[in-house]
Amino acid sequence: MTHPHDTAARRLGFTLAATGAVMFSAKAILAKFQYRHGIDALDVLALRMLLSLPLFVALGIHESRRPGREPMTRRDFGLILILGVLGYYLSSLFDFWGLEYVPVSLERLILFLNPTFVLLIGVFAFGRKVARREWIALAVSYSGVALVFVENLRVQGDHVLFGSALVLLAALSYALYLAMSGHLIKRIGSLRLVAYAMCVSTAATVIHYLLLREPARLLELPAPVYWLALINAVFCTFLPVTFTMGAVARLGAGMAAQMSVVGPVSLVFLGAWLLGEAITPVQLIGTSVVLGGVLLLTRPGANSVPVAATAEAK
């Protein structure tokens, strides 16, 4: 018989996973609203990183002080430096840049292919063997994205091609982060790694910004930009990380990963409702195909995608 406490924990886990997935996805909506005020991807990224930094610093300090934590080595710090640049600086930069050209529903769908990219990196970089079911899942996922892409190209125009390429680079960059982070997650913990990596990515973003622009620009933007950036930093960056890891603790990585399908589905309708983006039957069919392929790939025991795949902070 299932214990009431276990049932309550699983119910809370499902709630956390679904809420985290929607929050993660909603950052694309907020970015679109910010772009209406004449700013670009670098401005959005800089504000997001700077406003979320205090929260991740506090999280890093809290996690490092937990009993039983292994001390960090010089190699650990070097790897975190690489992961921070790959996972939350380059990936986020390409993502926000791509959002200047593609609808939010297509952006989230491409990013949702992360588990398939991690699998392919394992095949080509580490010689991992892939089961037949995994190849089928890959084929299904990419055929669905191709269907949605062609439909968006017809509806939106040629700029979708460039934007999709940027979002694809974002997904590849984050997949490299996931593929390289598995061992470190086991050593120092996922929340600790995310906190440290976000600090590195914030430093990289600030350096990038200072090389191209005057820092005073960030203090001269319209007021709505700052409110949107604050919501992005807290509700679409920091809280989803903690929600998702809470879901993993209660449901396991496989089930939490499957719940992340709520994100792309929610954006199809949120994009139409809040941004006036078109929804066509072909887009809905393609989205369903992609979600089916990724669900097949992320079923428990289906592959070895790291737990961090369920805790993106892009």
Within a 10 A sphere around the Cβ of 70, how many other Cβ atoms? 11
Please state the rounded mean pLDDT for residues 132-142. Answer: 84
Q: What per-residue confidence (pLDDT) applies to 205?
A: 97
Tens of pLDDT, residues 24-66? 889 999 999 999 999 999 999 999 999 999 999 999 999 988 8
More confident residue, 258 or 220: 220
Q: What per-residue confidence (pLDDT) applies to 168?
A: 93
Q: pLDDT band at residue 270, thresholds of 50, 70 and 90?
A: confident
Please state the rounded mean pLDDT for residues 244-262. Answer: 75
Please state the rounded mean pLDDT for residues 93-103. Answer: 95
On the CB side of 1, CA atoms within 13 Å amount to: 3
Q: pLDDT band at residue 198, thresholds of 50, 70 and 90?
A: very high
Is pTM beyond 0.75? Reply is yes
Q: What per-residue confidence (pLDDT) applies to 304?
A: 47
